Amino acid sequence: MSLIENRTGELWRSFMQKRKEISTAINNDLISMQVYNASYSFENFNPGAIFEKWAAVEVTDFNQVPDGMETFLLEEGLYAVFLHKGAASTGAKTFQYIFGVWLPQSGYTLDNRPHFEVLGEKYKNEDPESEEEIWIPIKAKKKD
């Protein structure tokens, strides 16, 4: 998937049709996850760059995976967590702050692990009162 050929809506519609079949979900939170290859550049934004997009929930185990669904084991590591308040369509401003202001001024750099958003009970898509957590994988900058 790319931002130009964005099929997020289709992915979520397909996922939500099967969501009730996931009997081992830990909670009702939904997870929107992006997996970028190591050469993906956040500094030189390219809306045509390809990445993997996942619609997911956290589960206790992988013993009962519904037909047509896949598992993903998220590697542990350090994450910076941000709260986006507002309609989902205004999220670009939050991401611009994260990558354009916060990250360059922090003592961290991006780590090559999945990025994800947690869409919990306060997530209401285009509602201006909506809230979601943005999890960005980071690691300490190397000292010169």
* Three-state secondary structure of 79-137: EEEEEEECCHHHHHHHHHHHHHHHHHHCCEEECCCCEEEEECCCCCCCCCCCEEEEEEE
Tokens of 62: 């992988």
Backbone φ and ψ for 62, nearest 5 degrees, come out as: -105, 20
Alpha-carbon distance of 90 to 17, in angstroms, equals 26
Q: Residue 4: what pLDDT?
A: 85
The distance from CA 100 to its chain's CA centroid, rounded to whole angstroms, is: 18
When pLDDT is averaged across residues 115-120 and rounded to a whole number, the result is: 98
Tell me the pLDDT tens digit for each residue of 72-96: 999 999 999 999 999 999 998 999 9
pLDDT at 144 over 70: no
Domain residue spans of the chain: 8-140
Are the C-beta atoms of 78 and 138 separated by less than 8 Å?
yes
Alpha-carbon distance of 79 to 134, in angstroms, equals 9
**Homologous superfamily of 8-140:** Regulatory factor, effector binding domain (3.20.80.10)
Tell me the pLDDT tens digit for each residue of 118-138: 999 999 999 999 999 999 999
Alpha-carbon distance of 93 to 115, in angstroms, equals 17
Average per-residue pLDDT for the chain: 93
Q: Residue 55: what pLDDT?
A: 97
Are the C-beta atoms of 116 and 32 separated by less than 8 Å?
yes
Q: Give 51's pLDDT tier (boundaries 50, 70, 90).
A: very high
